Each structure stands twice: as C-alpha cells, then as structure tokens.
Amino acid sequence: MSEPFVTIAAEGLTAAINPLGAELWSIRDGAGREWMTDADPRWWTGHAPLLFPFVGRSRGDVYRIDGVEYPMAQHGFARRRDFGVVARAGDAVTFRLEADAESRAVYPFDFRLDMAFAVEGRGLRMTATISNRGAAAMPFSFGYHPAFAWPLPFGGAVEDHRIVFEREEPAPIRRVGEEPGLIAHDRISSPVAGDTLAPIHAMFERDALIWDELESRSLLWGVPGRERLKIDFPDTPWLGLWQKPGAHYLCVEPWAGMADVEGFAGDVWSKQGIMRLEPGDSRSFRMDVTLVD
C-alpha cells in the first residue's frame, strides 16, 4: 500500500489510513493477517468512513436550523474531505479537518475534527475529537463505520462467527423503514440470545440492525475459541451492524446519533441523537480494536 496512505506500526501491528476522510483502510497483525474488509466492488468499496457532522440520512437529504434548509449527504461530508496530518510518529498519527468556505455552505459552524490513531500492543486506538471554534452552539452527531472481515483470518467458517456483547441485550431494536435510509417508528424483537448474536446474511436484507437502548460498550467479534477482535466504544451509546448481504465484511458501527425517523420534518435541534457543543468546548469519541485470545 503506497502513498498517499499513512502507515503506523508497532509490536507487530500495522495500520494504514487514507487522508481522504481520515479513513482507516487496513489493520494487519504480525502474521500479515488482514482484519478488515476486502472492499470487493461487487458489494461496497468503503472501509471505515467517519460519520460527521451527522450520522445517517436526513429526510430529503436536507436539514433545517433557524428556519433555513441546508443540503446534507448521508453520513455527512467528512468522509469526502481531505484531512491534513498535524502530528505523526512511527506508531501514531493525528489528522485534522477544519471548517472552510465549502463546509460552511452546508454546515454553518466553525468546527475542528481531529482524528487520532495509535497502535498500542495488539490493538489500535482511535479517538475523534470535535471542537466548536465558533461563537454559536453547534449541533452535531458522530459515528464510526469500520468494516471488519467476515470471516476473520483467524480460522472458522462464516456461520461460526458471533458477536458477543459485554452485557445481555434484551431490548427491541430499530430497523430502516420504507423511506430509504430513514428509521422506522416500530421496533422488532432483539435478535440477541442473552449476550450473543449469531449473524447471518439474511439479517441485513432490510439494511442495518440498530441498537438505541444498548447496555454494552464493548463486544467481541469472531469465532469463540479462536482469536477474536475486542471492540470497545466507551463514548458512543448506540450501535449499528450492517453489511450488503453476501459480502465479506460486517460493519460494527458505534454511533452517537442516527438517521432521521420516517416523516421527520423538524429543526435539527429536535432530531434524535443530536448533541449540543457550546463555543470553545470539545467532545471526544474513542474506539479501540484489539486482538484477544
């Protein structure tokens, strides 16, 4: 993998990040095993886009604030913008995106988004920090969207893979409704048996599974009894799981925010999951991915 990718490494773990979107493209361990998606174009060529300033789709691809409508693509614009490198070492790098004339045309706020990656032991720590550098309160949401290999390269069949949550997850979950990309009003019963989900491709025929009453802030992905990925997300209260049915990845998406509910036509401040960042304040969201026995 060559420039413009930035590669960081330590202790037998290597991560490669694309400055376009500060998007993580690869995590390989000392044996050269790839933990992430093969990005097969038959399914989805994404790897791990950052979702900012909003998670999910806004109804009609617009949002409203103070009586003004602004266009906003699904999952926001950060994933389509070039980030600059502001700090770099052999095992760590920090990227930065700041407000400019292009961003202010669709999001009239003076934000800064710093995205830090650091290899630590057998894992990768990612920390996104959003800052409000303007004079007005700033509405925003944030989410991670990494696509991990399914099957993982540690052995075991596709059908043997499990999501094992930190806690039992009995609450009903949300689904995408009839309006493309928007959340249905009704819920469905939890597909989790105790703390364990056995995913199958058919689960994703109606798009993502969405937990908005999530008890866990950590989970394991892989085949029980083999090496697995431990995924920690202490700062994000919601979770999406998604794939294109039949693809070779499963997206494990910690969110602080989500798409509009079907029929929503309110101001952005009344949108579910919107956070308020006061002038001069910052907020960080961490996600760790670690190989465990």
pLDDT of 3 reads 53
CA 226 from centroid of its chain's CA atoms = 25
Q: What is the arithmetic mean of pLDDT over 210-232?
A: 98
Q: Distance (Å, rounded) from C-alpha 163 to C-alpha 30?
A: 24
Distances (CA, A) of 160 to 157, 253, 292: 5, 21, 17
- Considering the segment(s) 6-292 as one domain, its CATH architecture is Distorted Sandwich (2.70)
Residue 4: pLDDT band with limits 50, 70, 90: confident
- Residue 237: count other Cβ atoms within 10 Å of its Cβ: 17
pLDDT in tens, 27-63: 999 999 999 999 999 999 999 999 999 999 999 999 9
For residue 1, pLDDT beyond 70:
no
Query: Do residues 116 and 126 touch, judged by C-beta distance below 8 A?
Result: yes
The β-bridge partners of 130 are 113, 283
What is the DSSP-derived secondary structure letter of residue 102?
A: H
Residue 201 backbone phi and psi in degrees, to 5? -60, -35
Every domain of the chain and the residues it spans: 6-292
Q: Distance (Å, rounded) from C-alpha 129 to C-alpha 63?
A: 23
Q: Distance (Å, rounded) from C-alpha 219 to C-alpha 252?
A: 10
Q: Distance (Å, rounded) from C-alpha 230 to C-alpha 219?
A: 6
pLDDT in tens, 104-117: 999 999 999 999 99
For residue 129, pLDDT beyond 80:
yes
